[in-house]
Structure 1
Amino acid sequence: MADHYEFSIQGHHNIYNNNAREFTIHFSTPSKGVGKDTGMLLLIPGYGGNVNSNVYKKMRDTFADQYNLIVVQCHYFGQEFMQSELIHEESYDNFNDMSFMQALDNIMAVLIVIQIIKNKNLPINYGKIILYGHSHGAYIGYLSNAFAPQLFKLLVDNSSYLYPIYRIADRTLQRGDGEVICFHYLISDEASPENEILYLPLLYKKFLNECSIISFNGTNDAMVPVEDKTSFINGINKARHILIDDNNVDGQIFTSTTHGLGADFLRLFDYVMNTHRFTTLNELQLVPHRLHTKQHVFSIDFEDELIQLSIQQHEKISSY
């Protein structure tokens, strides 16, 4: 059985109020130990998923041994507001920002676990660092790859949208008893001058993607217009779009053509891993870079092998 670890640690400061903060990281390592061929997998759940979901516990346990991976997952910024229950109101200390902080937490989780492994004088295959996300989790995967473009080598996307939909519409859930719950998120009330960097087709024109991307979408996905997603993926270097129609619904990996594909998360990952080939890299080099929009310059630095984001606007550095 894989070995499991859980800890809380200081994360990237809150970019909205500049406060220090902690977050929780979980990771599993192969029962046979970490060696030069061991890669790393970052799991990013979308709405309704979290580190305690049974399917994610199973993936952390199974994939570590099955594919010789260090499997990482974190409780990222505002994730408790993305579940199926109404909890206390959001505040700028913690809320579902659907973007920067959530991506920073996931990148930071990978970099912190890399530090832990390096401090134990264990090797990692940096050519096998993988992102695996579902819906909003896959969207955060795209942001994470854009913010740290040398870090990830494969992004597995199950039904990512091109822009976080609940920034512009309320989220509604219907319970089994017919009760409808409405989530109106704090971020949706804020002006968003950063829309240019959060809309994936514009974001991915601002850097050269070197991460292999395998994107799965259903032909009847109401949240992701097929033509727009296909156009986006076809315009990215090293990306492949796999559309699931009625002929591909096999009752095993895919059970529908709607959002999320009714996918079996474990079998979908098995499919990708059985068809993708990785290279071997013994070193990791993270290069500072900038992403430019009409109003901002987003500067990403890697100090002490951790990520730091700052934003420049009209010659003034914001609290980001």
Structure 2
Amino acid sequence: MIEKEQEITAQEWPLSPGERKVRLHIETPAAGIGANTGTMLVLHNWGGIYNEPHYVAWCREFADRYNVVSVSVNYLQSGPGQVVPEEKPYDHGFLQAMDCIRALYHIQKQIRDAGLAFNPGRCYSMGGSGGGNVTLMVNKLAPHTLACAVDICGMPGLTNGIAYGTGEFGSGLNAGYSKDPQSPAYLTPDLQELLDPGNIHHLKQQFSANPGNKVVIVHGLDDSSCPAVPKINIFQNMITAGFKPDGHFLTEWFIDGKAVLDTGHPVGNRDKIVERFADDYMLEEGRLAAKLPGLNNFELAKKIIYPTKNGRFEVDYSQGPPSITFTGSPE
């Protein structure tokens, strides 16, 4: 029996040293866990909280629809008022993604420890806004783990406009970073490089790890929070790297009154958007049902290394719960 409410230990956050815990809400299929049951992340927006009623409802809905153990994660800086400009900037998918990857690790371990058969190759993630960005970063930092990732109007990487609140492309987001190397909120070139889901060099590594990985991007062309133009650049780079992502950049034509309600940031009913644009990949008998070609990162138990300008980031899966570190001399 997997408990619906759980708490896991997360990697320490340097801006608030000490032990850190992350809450999870988990739903299992009503029919029980079987040999083809998968796992799925359901990720909230910037400022959201994991157990808000609609996220709990989505977990319940997806658990049965896709035959998955679904989990909503209260990742780092969940909830309002968590960003302090120049002091505690928005994590933007770094430790946030690691929190979600650890959630998957713990759930899959619990299933195995219970002696239950399941299908780790059916592993998915969806998220809207901040959760869309975290989904893309989970897909990057655990490149052997997701068969399908659905990004609904997520941030287009940590652009300068979002990092410093300078408003490029009309975005009003401000992640609270500093250009001062002496500031605790300093954004190093290496971190900004890692937090770009469109980094072509890193995408080529991801493609080598999991060439069948399916990314579904659903993004309104009139989004004034998470601009569409840099997201389209990410989509283009995914194709350049070898992937075949689905990109739905919404105009009025897509509005159906059920899933898609507008072409701005809200987009519509995000659970129904997943169904409309990703059912073919995530349903057990889906027309294009997505699954991993081999072992996932937890099973491989090796390090994932992403080189950057002044060093490299390592995601270590060899010691149980995964962790991320930087080695080098950031400017």
| TM-score bracket for this pair, using the shorter chain length | 0.7 to 0.9
Alignment check: 8 A CA contact 2:147 2:292 kept: no
Determine helix, strand or coil for the equivalent of 1:71. strand
Alignment check: 8 A CA contact 1:39 1:129 kept: yes
Aligned to 1:174: none
**Where do residues 231-246 of structure 1 align in structure 2 (5 Å cutoff)?**
231-236=233-238, 237-246=243-252
Residue identity in the other structure for 2:260: F
Alignment check: 8 A CA contact 1:37 1:280 kept: no
Q: Does 1:247 align with 2:253?
A: yes
Query: Distance in 1 between the 2:173 and 2:155 partners?
Result: 19
Q: Does 1:169 align with 2:175?
A: no
Residue identity in the other structure for 2:259: I
**Where do residues 77-88 of structure 1 align in structure 2 (5 Å cutoff)?**
77-80=76-79, 83=80, 86=81
Q: Does 1:196 align with 2:193?
A: yes
Q: Does 1:303 align with 2:326?
A: no
Query: Distance in 2 between the 1:87 and 1:39 partners?
Result: 32
- Displacement of 1:91 in angstroms is 11
Alignment check: 8 A CA contact 2:219 2:248 kept: yes
Aligned to 2:144: 150
Query: Distance in 2 between the 1:67 and 1:37 partners?
Result: 10
Alignment check: 8 A CA contact 1:38 1:124 kept: yes
Query: Distance in 1 between the 2:228 and 2:174 partners?
Result: 26
- Displacement of 1:312 in angstroms is 0.5
The correspondence for 2:206, drawn from 208, 216, 237, is 208
1:109-148 Cα shifts (integer Å, max 9, x gaps): 1111111111001122122110101011111111111111
Alignment check: 8 A CA contact 2:126 2:151 kept: yes
- Displacement of 1:297 in angstroms is 0.7
- Displacement of 1:183 in angstroms is 9.3
Alignment check: 8 A CA contact 2:157 2:198 kept: no
Q: TM-score, normalised by structure 1?
A: 0.83
Query: Distance in 1 between the 2:90 and 2:33 partners?
Result: 34
Aligned to 2:62: 63
Gaps of 5+ in 1: 172-181
Query: Distance in 2 between the 1:259 and 1:89 partners?
Result: 24
Identify the range of structure 1 (297-306 vs 160-169) with the bigger mean alpha-carbon deviation. 160-169
Identify the range of structure 1 (207-216 vs 70-79) with the bigger mean alpha-carbon deviation. 207-216
Alignment check: 8 A CA contact 1:134 1:159 kept: yes
Q: How many residues align?
A: 298
Residue identity in the other structure for 1:10: T
Query: Distance in 2 between the 1:73 and 1:25 partners?
Result: 6
- Displacement of 1:207 in angstroms is 1.9
Identity of aligned residues (%): 20
Aligned to 1:274: 279
Aligned to 1:108: 102
Query: Distance in 2 between the 1:212 and 1:227 partners?
Result: 21
Residue identity in the other structure for 1:241: G
Q: 1:123 to 1:217 in 2, by over 3 A?
A: same
Query: Distance in 2 between the 1:29 and 1:56 partners?
Result: 14
Q: Does 1:73 align with 2:72?
A: yes
Residue identity in the other structure for 2:291: T
Residue identity in the other structure for 1:248: F
Q: 1:272 to 1:39 in 2, by over 3 A?
A: farther
Residue identity in the other structure for 2:163: R
Q: If each structure's strand is expressed as a fraction of its own residues, which one has the higher value?
A: 1
Q: TM-score, normalised by structure 2?
A: 0.80
Residue identity in the other structure for 1:60: C
Aligned to 1:160: 154
Aligned to 1:38: 37
Identify the range of structure 1 (189-198 vs 66-75) with the bigger mean alpha-carbon deviation. 189-198
